[in-house]
Amino acid sequence: MKLSELIEGQSAVIVRVAGHGGFRKRIMEMGFVRGQQVRSVLNSPLKDPVKYSVMGYDVSLRRAEAAMIEVLPTEEANRLHLETVSTFGCDTSCEQCTIASCARKQAKTMRRNEINVALVGNPNSGKTSLFNALSGSSEHVGNYSGVTVEAKWGRFNYRGYRINITDLPGTYSLAAYTPEEVYVREHLFEKMPDVILNAVVASNLERNLYLTTELIDLNQRTVVALNMYDELEASGAKFDYDQFGAMIGIPIIPTIAKSGYGLEQLLDTIIELFEGRSKVARHVHINYGALLEEEIRRLSEAIRTSEQAPRQFPIRYWAAKLIEGDAQVATILSRCNDYDKWKELAQESAAKVQRRLNNDVETLISDYKYGFIAGALEETLSEGGVDINRRSRRIDRLVANKWLGFPIFILLVWLMFYTTFAIGAYPQGWIESGFGALGEWLWRIMPDGALRDLVVNGIVGGVGSVAVFLPNILILYLFISLMEDSGYMARAAFIMDRLMHRMGLHGKSFIPLIMGFGCNVPAIMATRTIESRTSRLITILVTPFMSCSARLPVYILLAGAFFPNRAATVLIGLYLLGILVAFATARLLRATKFKKDETPFVMELPPYRWPTFRATVRHMWDKCSQYIRKIGTTILLATVVIWFFSYYPRPEVTEISATVEQCAEVSVQQTVEVGDTHSNSYMARIGKFIEPVMRPLGLDWRAAMALVTSIPAKELVVSTMAVLYGGDDSGSLSESIVARSGMTPSSALAFMIFILLFFPCLATLSAVRSESGSRGWMWFTILYNTAVAWLLAWLAYLVF
Ligand code: GDP
Ligand code: MG
């Protein structure tokens, strides 16, 4: 809890002091040190300041200041102490020690030895690699700027400390222009991490260190990971990082995230910083020139008199940012009573600087920052003769070539799909027969009844039909992972950019759309690589129109049955229709809701890097386990529910058992109630309920029911049809569909179009919700897609 929340008379042990360096130093000099006992002497609500007793002195703090100190109430510390005593027995010193000092020790050594670390750095500086290497977690790593759009959190233990590490989105600075920058600064401000870990690309110091200068201004406990140190060495450059660190007052540790080099030293430095033992750490003041400095000083003085100014960052920082016109800082400070006065002062100052120096404050400050870096590097860095980007440039001359780029890209995409489906078909077949055999075996050994039906037709059949896609997904991800980690994905986005822009999308939208043909769920997750919010959202919303592989069996079945001579044409036509609707929707959204794209950003082409085996395998395993989890949860539940609704209530008439050979699905024995007995089940009642809506498309209640069952997973359509239209074992399923479904070629076409376009499966919907961050867009998808599906299916029924 916060010290400010301590009620009068209550005492506690200090756990940590947050805030910028200057503030912490002053507070600690007053005796507010980690492990100290503190008692609230006078704390009446609404009253400021509050009085505390610490180290035998009475000290008064402002409420805002007390809020920056985290404490553990003594009662809780004692309880913790007793718990330890009873669990571990008492150590020798325990007898003599007073409870309070022991509690102090508890606070220091037990679970409160937590260090919160925030990981910041430019895109592609290896933050996620560091995060993974440190925490052992398998967050996805990509050689593709902006893979991390939201923060990832991981924890691990090191030398008796628990370290919580947050992988923040990549940023080039901490201005409030892009959502990432706003997010990162907000995180630093709100969460007040104990240590900031700044990842810097060793082979590209000048640009990377700009962000470091911003961190210097924040005056937090910071350490720089000089990552990709191998590249610096390979280039032949010499960098005296120790001296550089001493100059900027931040310890610098060379690391190679890929191999783990330097990570221990990095962690030790983090602990040193946390415990206040670092010899390097000090606050350095970057000078902004006489005039601006004077203006900042004037405003700082005004802000300092306020009791409300937040203590997270130095006053000087607030002043400089206010003069710069930073919108986020303005919002933060506007909560203070004196804000209007400050704003006026800041505007005066900005105008004055503009008048005198003929330059705006922002440019001025960034000039001085670059000057500061250049000066410090001048003394410590000697460039090597080797250009490590030469190889990348040479590859790019081929791969991003005006004429060759596109064919190479198409070739790779084709290879990806070919391998995914052609090679994947083998293990797919094994899994399929495995589940088939399992189903048959269970059918034989289990006694007749509802349970057997549930297990064989519901669980094994339903789960099996989805599990067969696992190999395809693995292979697809092997390719995507290799393309991302090597840096090719950035080129692919680059090549597709112009075309995609014309569709109202972004170059990076292309990859998710392509992936959508495999499965919409990972495709929607892949949109995280798109920095622009609006482009990302549009891509999320149109991806479901990409016909995923689960819909393919339906087309194969129906196109084969009703258009035996033109099946391939129908199939390609359907895929094209999906793409067309996606693009039309993208343009529609661009023209209406998202007129303005956010600030254009540079599409970075990172140097090619060899993907590591470990990262690739991890990535594949990640996706694989995600998919298995989906099978074990959503799919399993859905199949049971569907089974229930189509099994109950039981008809009075005797049921007839029949084996149904499904065409593209797992073959399982199915209990089929032939004829009118279907109309009894709940599922049929649902089908009949929505039948009037489907009538204009030439579809009856059974087709409507198949559509309903496809909601959990499109894979379930074919099995539903098998139950409905199959019946006796004479002839194939497609024959019996032609004979008994009452569908005509045009209504079959309408049905396929409906399956193609109407709202995607539950897993996709939940991906839309979580990735768009709102339920509203999920509902949009449900309503819009269904409306479009109905309309186009109806048109198709009329025209053909
Ligand atoms: P992020 O955008 O900052 O999260 O960066 P990533 O962790 O995704 O890494 C970007 C690329 O740099 C990936 O291809 C990594 O394999 C590669 N990388 C990360 N650390 C190192 C390193 O120390 N040396 C080299 N040579 N490559 C690295
Ligand atoms: Mg990352």
Q: How far is the CA of 353 from the centre of ligand 1 (A)?
A: 41
- The stretches in the chain having pLDDT less than 70 are 45-46, 81-112, 137-150, 385-388, 421, 465-466, 529, 531, 596-604, 651-679, 723, 726-732
Task: Count Cβ atoms within 10 A of the Cβ of residue 568 and give its class: 0-12 exposed, 13-18 middle, 19 or more buried.
Answer: exposed
Q: How far is the CA of 783 from the centre of ligand 2 (A)?
A: 34
What span, in angstroms and rounded, lies between the C-alpha atoms of 747 and 745?
6
Collapsing DSSP to helix, strand or coil, 722 comes out as helix
* Closest among 43, 14, 8 to 30, alpha carbons compared: 14
Q: Which ligand is nearest to the CA of 615?
A: 1
Binding pocket residue ranges, ligand 1, CB within 6 Å: 121, 123-129, 141-143, 147-148, 170, 227-228, 230-231, 256-258, 485, 609
Task: Count Cβ atoms within 10 A of the Cβ of residue 39 and give its class: 0-12 exposed, 13-18 middle, 19 or more buried.
Answer: middle
pLDDT at 144: 43
Contact status, residue 554 vs residue 539, Cβ threshold 8 Å: no
Mutate to test the pocket of ligand 1, among 127, 141, 145 (most ligand atoms within 8 A of CB): 141
Q: How many CB atoms lie within 10 A of CB 645?
A: 17
* Closest among 186, 407, 432 to 313, alpha carbons compared: 186
B/e letters for 310-329, b = 16+ CB within 10 Å, e = fewer, are bbbbbbbbbbbbbbbbbebb
pLDDT at 682: 85
Question: Locate tokens 């229930």: which residue?
Answer: 644
First to last CA, the chain: 70
Mutate to test the pocket of ligand 1, among 119, 122, 124, 389 (most ligand atoms within 8 A of CB): 124
Counting from 1 in the atom list of ligand 1, the atom nearest the Cα of 259 is 23
Counting from 1 in the atom list of ligand 1, the atom nearest the Cα of 615 is 16
Contact status, residue 479 vs residue 416, Cβ threshold 8 Å: yes
Q: How far is the CA of 171 from the centre of ligand 2 (A)?
A: 11
Counting from 1 in the atom list of ligand 1, the atom nearest the Cα of 487 is 14
Q: How far is the CA of 618 from the centre of ligand 1 (A)?
A: 15
pLDDT at 98: 47
Q: How far is the CA of 158 from the centre of ligand 1 (A)?
A: 23
Alpha carbon nearest to ligand 1 atom 2, residue: 124
Q: How far is the CA of 560 from the centre of ligand 1 (A)?
A: 48
* Closest among 187, 143, 145 to 167, alpha carbons compared: 187
Alpha carbon nearest to ligand 1 atom 9, residue: 126
Q: How many CB atoms lie within 10 A of CB 440?
A: 16
Q: Which ligand is nearest to the CA of 200?
A: 1
Q: How far is the CA of 79 from the centre of ligand 2 (A)?
A: 41
Q: What angle do CA 201, 202, 206 make, to 5 degrees?
A: 80
* Closest among 84, 62, 65, 74 to 10, alpha carbons compared: 74
Residues 6+ apart with CB under 8 A from 763: 521, 630, 634, 713
Task: Count Cβ atoms within 10 A of the Cβ of residue 594 and give its class: 0-12 exposed, 13-18 middle, 19 or more buried.
Answer: middle
Mutate to test the pocket of ligand 1, among 145, 203, 609, 617 (most ligand atoms within 8 A of CB): 609
What span, in angstroms and rounded, lies between the C-alpha atoms of 15 and 3?
10
CA distances from 698 to 10, 689, 702, 798 (A): 76, 16, 12, 9
* H/E stretch holding 132: helix 127-135
pLDDT at 78: 76
Contact status, residue 14 vs residue 100, Cβ threshold 8 Å: no
Q: Which ligand is nearest to the CA of 227?
A: 1
What span, in angstroms and rounded, lies between the C-alpha atoms of 213 and 665?
60
Half-sphere exposure of 615 (CA within 13 A, CB side): 28
Tokens in use for 670? Answer: 């199915």
Question: Locate tokens 């959502």: which residue?
Answer: 179
Alpha carbon nearest to ligand 1 atom 25, residue: 228
Q: How far is the CA of 227 from the centre of ligand 2 (A)?
A: 13
DSSP-assigned letter for residue 4: G
Residues 6+ apart with CB under 8 A from 62: 48, 49, 50, 307
Q: How far is the CA of 645 from the centre of ligand 1 (A)?
A: 50
What span, in angstroms and rounded, lies between the C-alpha atoms of 469 and 474?
9
pLDDT at 388: 65
Half-sphere exposure of 431 (CA within 13 A, CB side): 18
Counting from 1 in the atom list of ligand 1, the atom nearest the Cα of 121 is 3
Residues 6+ apart with CB under 8 A from 400: 491, 494, 495, 605
Query: Global pTM?
Result: 0.66
Alpha carbon nearest to ligand 1 atom 6, residue: 126
Mutate to test the pocket of ligand 1, among 258, 484, 489 (most ligand atoms within 8 A of CB): 258
645 φ/ψ angles, rounded to the nearest 5 degrees: -70, -25
pLDDT at 662: 37
Mutate to test the pocket of ligand 1, among 120, 129, 258 (most ligand atoms within 8 A of CB): 129
Contact status, residue 762 vs residue 636, Cβ threshold 8 Å: no
Alpha carbon nearest to ligand 1 atom 27, residue: 228
* Closest among 335, 343, 338 to 319, alpha carbons compared: 343
CA distances from 554 to 419, 560, 582 (A): 22, 10, 20
Alpha carbon nearest to ligand 1 atom 19, residue: 126
Q: How far is the CA of 529 from the centre of ligand 2 (A)?
A: 10
* Closest among 574, 628, 598, 636 to 789, alpha carbons compared: 574
What span, in angstroms and rounded, lies between the C-alpha atoms of 541 and 475?
25
